Amino acid sequence: QLLESGGGLVQPGGSLRLSCAASGFTFSSFAMSWVRQAPGKGLEWISAITGAGYGKYYAESVKGRFTVSRDNSQNTLLLHMNSLRVEDTAVYYCAPEYGSRNYYRDWGQGTLVTVSS
Amino acid sequence: DIQMTQSPSSVSASVGDRVTITCRASQDISGWLAWYQQKPGKAPKLLIYGASTLPGGVPSLQSGVPSRFSGSGSGTDFTLTISSLQPEDYATYYCQQANSFPLTFGGGTKVEIK
C-alpha cells in the first residue's frame, strides 16, 4: 500500500513537502519514483531514488528545485519541492519499481498540489 | 531525452473491435517499454511491461490483466493491441520507456465509444 500526503494550495515561489508512506513490501529493496499528472494532461515522471537512497534522478523540469529522499527506517519516501511554479500544479503519485526496472505496477491514490496566487 | 510518440491521440471504436495503438521511441530502447491504462480520477494501471509481458511474469497466465491485451515490438516501434474491445476498456492508454533516465511517457491515446 502507498499513501501520499502533503499536497495542498501554495503560492508561486513557495515550498511544499510530499510524503509517501509505504507498507506491504520490503521498502528498502525497491527504487521509488514520483510521477505527476497536471489537470487534464498526461503522465510525467519527475524523480526516482534507488533503494539505498544513493542514486537520485530528476526530470529537467524539476531539477534544482525538487529533492527526493527516503527514510527506509520509516518506510517513507519524500519529495521536497521549492520554487514552485503554476505549472507544477498536478496530482503527484509515488510508485515502487516493478520487474527490476522502472515500471510501475503499484500506485498510491495521489496527492494534489495546486500552485496559485 | 527519449521522446515517446503515440498514435493515434484518440480512437473511436465499438465493443468487439480490435484496437491497435502504436508508440514510437526517438531512439532504440530495446524492449524496455510499458503500457498503462488510466481511467478518469484513477491511478494508472500497468498492462504490459518489457514490451510484451503481462504483470505476473508469464504472458499466458492471468495477472489481473485480461488476455485480450497484448504488446509487441522492440527497438523504436511498439504496439498495444486490444483484441476485442470491452466496455471496461474505454480509457486512456500511455506508453513509457524504461530504458534510461529521464523516464518518459507518451502523450496518451484516448479510446472512446463509437
Chain A residues in contact with B1 by the CB 8 A cut-off are: 60
Please report the pLDDT score of residue A99 as a whole number. 85
| Mean pLDDT, all residues of chain B | 93
Please report the pLDDT score of residue B60 as a whole number. 39
Please report the pLDDT score of residue B14 as a whole number. 96
Number of H helices, E strands in chain A: 0, 10
Please report the pLDDT score of residue A113 as a whole number. 98
Q: Is the pLDDT of residue B11 over 70?
A: yes
For A60-110, the pLDDT digits (tens) are: 999 999 999 999 999 999 999 999 999 999 999 999 999 888 999 999 999
Q: Is the pLDDT of residue B63 over 70?
A: no
The Cα B29–Cα B78 span in angstroms is: 10
For B13-36, the pLDDT digits (tens) are: 999 999 999 999 999 999 999 999
| Closest Cβ–Cβ partner in B43, B55, B106 for A107 | B43
% pLDDT > 70, chain A? 100
- Burial of residue A28 (CB within 10 Å: 0-12, 13-18, 19+) is middle
Residue the block writes with cell 480490435: B18
Q: What is the DSSP string of B21-67?
A: EEEEESS--TT-EEEEEE-TTS--EEEEBTTTBPTTS-TTS-SSS-T
Which DSSP state fits A103?
B
Please report the pLDDT score of residue B91 as a whole number. 97
Amino acid letter for position B41: G
Phi, psi dihedrals of residue A78, rounded to the nearest 5°? -125, 150
- Strand-pairing partners, residue A4, are A20
Q: Which of A35, A63, A103 to mutate to test the interface with B (most CBs of B within 10 A)?
A: A103
CA distances from A45 to A36, B72, B103, B104 (A): 6, 23, 6, 6
Cell for A106? 503499484
Choose the weakest-confidence range: A60-74, B55-69, B97-111.
B55-69
Contact A45 B105 (CB under 8 A): yes
Query: Which positions 59-88 of A are in contact with B (Cβ < 8 Å)?
Result: 59-60
Across the A/B interface, how many CB contacts are shorter than 8 Å?
61
How far A96 CA sits from the closest chain B CA (Å)? 12
Q: Using 50, 70 and 90 to split pLDDT, how confident is the model at B61?
A: very low
| Closest Cβ–Cβ partner in B43, B49, B102 for A99 | B49
Average pLDDT over residues A105-117: 96
Q: Which residues contact A92 (CB under 8 A, 6 or more apart)?
A: A4, A7, A18, A34, A35, A36, A79, A110, A111, A112, A113
